[in-house]
Each structure stands twice: as structure tokens, then as C-alpha cells.
Amino acid sequence: MGLAIKTYSFTKEERLKSRKIIETLFREGKAFSVFPYRVVYMPVDNPIAPYPVQAGFSVSTKRFPHAVDRNRVKRLTRECYRLQKGELYEQLRAQQPNGHLAVFFIYTDKKIAPFTTLQHKISLILKKLAKEALAAS
């Protein structure tokens, strides 16, 4: 691995933006819930991508009619993910050096949870994701 990853960054290449991958993810991916998130994930064949995980984030317009609130929840979630993704990356690289995951976080609560709560939940999600992704391989 010739690529040195900045520990606490969330670059453009790590964001899940491909419509084709997102559609396939929701059609064929596996899912689990850790309140207040629903997580959909799927292994993908993307040998070009330098990062082992591409992540997307979503908040329901129905539950948060104001864009300000939706953006706040997504910002908090991305920040929690950005600070904790390193452990997931290490586990994935150790077990499957060429394995890649597409992951989508969907916020399902009706209220904006505090940052510490979201941080704990994202931590639980990443541990479960590492375990399930490694079990699937």
C-alpha cells in the first residue's frame, strides 16, 4: 500500500456519490439498525479506489422538514464517522487488502441527538460493520 492516508480526513474519494453504486446498494445490499441509524452496506468491486470504504449519509425530509436541521444531522454524522473510521480501515485492510465497501448511513430519529450520543452509536456501527464485512468475506 503506497498510499498514506491522512488519519482524520474525509476526502472526495471517500464519499459515496455514484448513482449506480447507490442504486445497487439499496437493491442488493445488507442492512442493520443501531438506533438512530439504519446502515446499508455492500462489498463492491472497485480496485481503483484508494480507500477501502465509501460512505454516504442521508436524513429524511419527512422527519426534518427544514434543510437546516437535515444538514446539521448530516454534518454531525460525517464528523463522527471521520473521527472513528481509522479502526474500520485497519481491520478491512488487514483481512482483505483489496476489499472495498459501500456504506450508507440513514438517520431515523425525529430529534437531533447530541454529538456524544451520535459518536457512541457510530462507534458501535463501525464495529458491527467490520465484524459483518469480515464474516461475509
- Concatenate the DSSP letters of all residues of 42-98 into one string: EEE--TT-SSSEEEEEEE-TTT--SHHHHHHHHHHHHHHHHHHHHHHHHHHHHH-TT
Q: Which of 41-50, 78-87, 102-111 has the lowest mean pLDDT?
A: 41-50
pLDDT tens digit string along 14-57? 999 999 999 999 999 999 999 999 999 999 887 667 888 999 99
State the chain's mean pLDDT as an integer.
Answer: 89
pTM over 0.95: no
